[in-house]
Structure 1
Amino acid sequence: MLRFGLIIGSTRPRRFAQIPADWLLAAAADRTDFTLDVLDLREADLPFLDESFPPAMLGGAFANPKANAWRARLNHYDGFIATVAEYNHGPTAALKNAFDSAFLEWRRKPVAFVGYGTTGAARAIAQLRSIALGLEMAPVRSEVTIGLEPFIAVQNNEKMLCDYGYLNRACTALFDDLVWWASALKAARKKLRVVA
């Protein structure tokens, strides 16, 4: 069975990110093809850019023990989903830093994005797709964008994300794409290890 990590990409005290994270976990509970574990950036408490050299120059190693603990956790997963807030047309610094706080552990693994806010975090997701490619990840095409109307309605406790059929369908498509890519890339990674 595949194993995916759900990165909660905001560390704000009153973050909305917990709502889509809980919704994704509930939807994933019905799946038999993967498990979904939470990777909360609050708990990871990653340092910001305190390494003397880029990890590419050190074979992916980090000096900071928190970064190494983060790397060790990531190594167990076949793919990732990140909840994405948009701050000033980009992703949160905490989420970008989480991607920068590992190197080899991301390679040749798929990633999917669930954005929320006035534009569904579309601009932040676009940037994260480019970042993922730089890390040799495979960003999947399907994404969930929780735009202004559901964002406000859910925030005001008038509705829940599961009340929106199109969001549920987008979630299913995201899961299906992530499973396909994770299966293909896992098999390819195994083959490369045998050949190498």
Structure 2
Amino acid sequence: MSTITGEAETTDLTATLPRLEIIVASTRPGRVGRVVADWFTAEAEQHGGFDVHVTDLAELNLPLFDEPHHPALRRYTHQHTLDWSATIDAADAIVFVTPEYNHSFTAPLKNALDYLSQEWRDKPAAFVSYGGLSAGTRAVYALRPVVSMLGMMAINPAVAVPTRAHITPERQFQSDAALEASAKLVLDDLARLAPAFAGLRAAK
């Protein structure tokens, strides 16, 4: 009886937490993006301030934008768009996990962003980038104005992961105190802002 009660209490607690959507931007075979995302997801779950969800764009597999109407109208004609809309609509905060491709972010992420409009608005967004010497930071520079144009608040703290230092040849993630502190800073900011932005959306 006590175990069942404990599970119910845990479920109720999760339901009251802001929903964090972690979006994995890389879709290529052989990527390390999911390894990085899994590490950050574990950090978010340990943080305890969120109901954590993950969308992997490789699994979502959105086609190139194929809706006949402007996303702002929300007159969607395809089930994949309706499903994607519902996922982002439910989110209170967003984290983009992205590599750097030619000083920018991935085409699948741009496509996923362009599918929607109102669903993104008035939500705090953060970034976890990864890569070589730059640790993917130029992808974040390119992503910030897009996120802002969609009405999200792109927070200043970000997590930058140099893959040579933190991904083993066996594709295991090796964290350290600095990365964990960076993740906590991002999560603390999102936890602080998410309820305020939820109130802003509810007031509309």
TM-score (norm 1): 0.89
Identify which of 67, 72, 79 aligns with 1:51.
Answer: 67
- Rate the CA distance shift 1:113–1:53 in 2: closer, same or farther, 3 A: same
Identify which of 88, 92, 107 aligns with 1:78.
Answer: 92
Residue matched to 2:167: 154
Q: Is residue 28 of structure 2 the alignment partner of residue 12 of structure 1?
A: yes
Q: CA RMSD in A?
A: 1.7
Mapped partners of 2:159, 2:107: distance in 1: 21
Mapped partners of 1:181, 1:146: distance in 2: 24
Q: Is the 8 A contact 1:20 1:161 kept in 2?
A: no
Mapped partners of 2:174, 2:74: distance in 1: 38
Q: Is the 8 A contact 1:83 1:113 kept in 2?
A: yes
Q: 5+ unaligned residues in a row in structure 1: which ranges?
A: none
Residue matched to 1:29: 45
Residue matched to 1:61: 75
- Rate the CA distance shift 1:165–1:44 in 2: closer, same or farther, 3 A: same
Mapped partners of 1:158, 1:38: distance in 2: 19
Q: Is the 8 A contact 1:23 1:161 kept in 2?
A: no
Q: 5+ unaligned residues in a row in structure 2: which ranges?
A: 1-16
Once the two structures are aligned, what percentage of the paired residues are identical?
A: 33
Mapped partners of 2:50, 2:79: distance in 1: 29
Amino acid in structure 2 at the alignment position of 1:55: P
Number of corresponding residues = 187
Residue matched to 1:143: 158
Q: Is the 8 A contact 1:55 1:103 kept in 2?
A: yes
- 1:51 CA drift (Å): 2.5
Residue matched to 2:112: 98
Secondary structure of 2:167's match? helix
Q: Is residue 191 of structure 2 the alignment partner of residue 179 of structure 1?
A: yes
Identify which of 124, 131, 141 aligns with 1:110.
Answer: 124
- Rate the CA distance shift 1:60–1:154 in 2: closer, same or farther, 3 A: same
TM-score (norm 2): 0.85
